[in-house]
Structure 1
Amino acid sequence: MKNARTFTTFALIALASTATALPFDAIDATQAYQNEVAILEATGAMPSTEPVAIFPAMPEEEVAAPVIASLQDVSLPAQPRVGAPAAVGVATQGREVAAPSADIALPAVDLAALAETHDALAVRKGEDGEADAMMMLSDVLFSFGDDRLEPAAVALLEDLAPELEGATALQIAGHTDAIGDEASNQELGLRRANAVRDWLIANSALSADVVTATGIGEVDPVADNLRADGSDNPEGRALNRRVEFLLPDAG
Structure 2
Amino acid sequence: ELICSSGRAKVEGAKNHPGYRVRVPFGEHRLMLVGLLVQLCERETTRTLDALTPALWRTMLTWVFEYRHSDMWLRQFGALFSAAVRANHEPSLRALLEDCNVIAAFVAHYEAGTNTSAGGVILRCLNVLRLAAAAVHPSSFLRRHLAANAAWAAFVDDLRAATVAQREAHFKKPRQPLVPPGLAMLYPQAFANVVAPDDDDDDGVVDVDLGSDLAAELGFADVVAYAGPDGGDGGGGGAA
Greater RCO structure (CA 8 Å; 6+ sep) = 2
Per residue, is there more strand in 1 or in 2? Answer: 1
**Larger Rg computed on CA atoms:** 1
Q: Which structure dedicates a bigger proportion of its chain to helix?
A: 2
**TM-score, normalised with respect to structure 1:** 0.22
